Amino acid sequence: MQNREVDVAIIGAGTAGLSAWQAARQHGDKIVLIEGGEGGTTCARVGCMPSKLLLAAAEAAQRTRDATGFGIRTGSVEVDGGAVMAWLHQERDRFVGQVLDSMERIPAEQRLAGTARFESPQVLRVGDDLRVKARAIVIATGSRNHWPDLLSNAGDRLVVNDDVFRWQTLPESAAVFGPGIIGLELGQALHRLGVRLRIFGKSGSLGPFQDAKLRDYADRTFNESFYVDPQAKVEEIRREGNQVAITFQERHSGRRLTERFDYLLAATGRRPNLEALALEQAELELDEHGVPHFDRFTLQCHAADGGPSPVFIAGDANHELPLLHEASLQGRIAGDNAGRYPERRAGRRTTPLSIVFTDPQIATVGLSRQAHEERLGGCRHVATGEASFEGQGRAVVMRQERGRLHLYAEHGTGLLLGAELFGPQVEHMAHLLAWAVEERACVSRLLEMPFYHPVLEEALRSALRDLSAKLEHGPAITARCLEYGPGIERG
């Protein structure tokens, strides 16, 4: 058995792990980055980037079909599934290659290949013949797909998003279970590429929506082009020949149907990769799912005895916010604190921001209205401003006049709190709103900003005007201005 002693050991070389390594190395070079699987990050290999490649191909096909609405005759659209997937693989491999190239720049002595598990809070066994003792350890092992037992009845017809990006061509049909971010993005893309499709949910949720009015609007909009049932009544799933047979109650007619699909795509959520770590040896306080309790500002795990723990956790492994930019931020905080352990510093967490690249797009900024009501003490403290893209000038010109905006602000101060958006290209407005929330901007100050004509952002101005009209200003604004300084309402 070989023994090695380091200052920081990082388990996992994905986005969070690489970010942790970058931060920890500012405190010294006695660091090891341990990876037990494929390199290349989930985002580059089977996540953000290949999904956006599939979406880009689907959007190109849809734009060609939609051109007839402008009086442009393009003929029928023919999708070559093999060519689409070949292009996707080629571009995906470029993204993965860039990540692997960056990993190669990490000194060889700081990279270890093998599966790590805890022997004690500061000792890891890597593989069968190496023991690593570290002053601090960062868990950045990412996550994996999981699904309810019922879906396993599909046998080898059950696939996850990882499998989709290994396809050599497109199937004729697919059933998607889970109308969350992944399910909606991949489902709509497959539909636009000519795959016969149905999307089934269970809880009634749709994407990241918390606002019931927006969720219902989006539900109706998506169902105009492909089938989505967020609260499906599925009676049976079985493997049948080379397909999977699904018996369900059809949402619109109420009829009991059995349909057969080439694949069942499970997009029902992800679970942290923690089982192989032997966390019981790390002496951590775990929740009912076996995930360590941690401080979201330091990313330090809670020790089982209530004392300080030398273990930190970042990215999808902690199951807080499974988004790449959050994994990168958390990795920096965890790596910095691991590098300076036992000293620690609270990292600055940014405004929550989530974008779904469907058409129309979905975006959420900040906390939900319900979360703000709970934080502020009730609905009387929060106002909602609304606007529609229906009839909005630029949206009409683009023939994309579907969608709504909901903005939230605090009575008394006019402070912008967050937003939920559903509409064309709202990814850009979501960034502007996230920056505004981050800067503690007030609604009246945002209305002083320039708005060009004709642009989609004019719908944002309409929502801000509606919000301003509903806000009840009061003496509290003076105290809030003094607290946050410039950048909010002046008066």
CATH of the domain at 29: 3.50.50.60
- Over the stretch 43-55, which tens digit does the pLDDT of each residue have? 777 788 999 999 9
Measured CA to CA, the distance from residue 424 to residue 407 in angstroms comes to 16
Residues 6 or more apart whose CB falls under 8 angstroms from that of 47 comprise 41, 161, 324
What would the mean pLDDT of 290-303 be, rounded to a whole number? 96
| The two structure tokens encoding residue 447 | 């209305």
Rounded to 10 deg, the angle between the 81-104 and 48-66 helix axes is 150
* Dihedral angle, C-alpha 315, 24, 366, 419, nearest 10 °: -80
Say what the pLDDT of residue 284 is: 97
> Does residue 318 belong to any structural domain of this protein?
yes
Closest by CA position to 434, among listed 349, 339, 360, 347: 349
DSSP structure string for 442-486 = BHHHHHTS---TT-THHHHHHHHHHHHHH--B-THHHHHHHHH-B
Residues 361 and 479 in one domain: yes
What CA–CA distance (Å, rounded) separates 408 from 420? 9
Q: How confident is the model at residue 485 (pLDDT cuts 50, 70, 90)?
A: very low
463 occurs within a structural domain: yes
Task: Assess contact for 463 and 451: CB atoms under 8 A.
Answer: no
- Residue for token digits 């319900």? 370
Is 489 inside a domain boundary?
Answer: no
> Is 347 within a domain?
no
- Picking from 312, 340, 368, the residue at the C-terminal end of a domain is 340
Is 363 in the same domain as 453?
yes
- Considering the domain architecture, whether residues 57 and 102 belong to the same structural domain is answered as yes
Per-residue pLDDT tens digits for 360-391: 999 999 988 888 888 877 667 899 999 999 99
pLDDT of residue 48: 84
287 and 156 assigned to the same domain: no
Q: What is the DSSP string of 276-342?
A: GG-GGGGTB-B-TTSPBPB-TTT-EEEBTTSSEEEEEE-GGGGTS---HHHHHHHHHHHHHHHHHTT
Number of domains present in the structure of the chain: 3
- Quote the pLDDT of residue 44: 75
The contacts of residue 288 (CB under 8 Å, 6+ apart) are: none
Is 301 in the same domain as 413?
Answer: no
How far apart (Å, rounded) are the C-alpha atoms in residues 349 and 81? 42
Domain shared by 76 and 198, yes or no: no
Identity of residue 48? C
- The mean per-residue pLDDT over the stretch 336-358 comes to 95
Q: Cα dihedral sign for 281, 287, 292, 294?
A: negative
Whole domain around residue 207: which residue ranges? 149-269
Same domain (yes/no): 133, 17: yes
Terminal alpha carbon distance of the chain:
71
Q: Where residue 479 falls among pLDDT bands split at 50, 70, 90?
A: very low
Mark whether 37 and 115 lie in a shared domain.
yes
**490: pLDDT strictly greater than 60:** no
pLDDT at position 482, please?
39
Nearest residue to 312 via CA among 34, 3, 11, 35: 11
Q: By the 8 A CB rule, do 121 and 311 touch?
A: yes
Token output for 313: 């956790």
Which among 292, 309, 340 is the end of a domain?
340
* pLDDT of amino acid 461: 97
368 with 456, same domain: the answer is yes
At residue 459, the pLDDT reads 97
Two tokens, residue 79: 């999708």
- Whether 395 is covered by a domain: the verdict is yes
What is the three-class DSSP state of 132? Answer: strand
**How far is the C-alpha of 489 from the C-alpha of 491, rounded, in Å?**
7
**Percent with pLDDT over 70 in the chain:** 96
Averaged confidence pLDDT in the chain: 92
Spatial separation of the C-alpha atoms in residues 325 and 474, rounded to whole Å: 37
Instruction: Output the CA–CA distances (angstroms, integers) from residue 331 to 204, 272, 290, 379, in the order listed.
Output: 33, 15, 21, 35
Residue 242's pLDDT is: 94
Same domain, 186 and 221: yes
pLDDT score of 374: 82
In a domain, 282, yes or no: yes
Q: Is the pLDDT of residue 484 over 60?
A: no
91/87 Cα distance (integer angstroms): 6
Residue 9 bridge partners (DSSP): 32, 137
Domain end among 241, 269, 297: 269
- 168-192: per-residue pLDDT in tens? 999 999 999 999 999 999 999 999 9
Residue 346 falls inside a structural domain: no
| pLDDT above 70: residue 39 | no
Same domain? 262 vs 280: no
**CATH code of 434's domain:** 3.30.390.30
> What are the pLDDT digits (tens) for 225-280?
999 999 999 999 999 999 999 999 999 999 999 999 999 999 998 999 999 999 99
Length of the chain: 491
Q: Rg for the chain (alpha carbons), in Å?
A: 25
CB-based contact 344:27 (threshold 8 Å): no
Burial (CB count <10 Å: 0-12, 13-18, 19+), residue 99: buried
If DSSP codes are grouped into helix, strand and coil, which group holds residue 78?
coil
- pLDDT tens digit sequence for 76-125: 889 999 999 999 999 999 988 888 888 888 999 999 999 999 999 999 99
In this predicted model, what pLDDT tens digit does every residue of 456-468 receive, in sequence order?
Answer: 999 999 999 999 9
Instruction: State the pTM of this model.
Output: 0.91
- For the range 470-475, what are the long-range contacts, defined as Cβ-Cβ under 8 Å and sequence gap of 24 or more? 470/383, 470/384, 470/385, 471/383, 471/409, 471/411, 471/414, 471/443, 472/383, 472/411, 472/412, 473/411, 473/412, 473/413, 473/414, 474/411, 474/412, 475/412
Higher-scoring residue by pLDDT: 76, 430: 430
Query: Is the domain of 225 the same as that of 308?
Result: no
Give the residue-averaged pLDDT of 314-339.
Answer: 93
Please report whether residue 490 resides in a domain: no
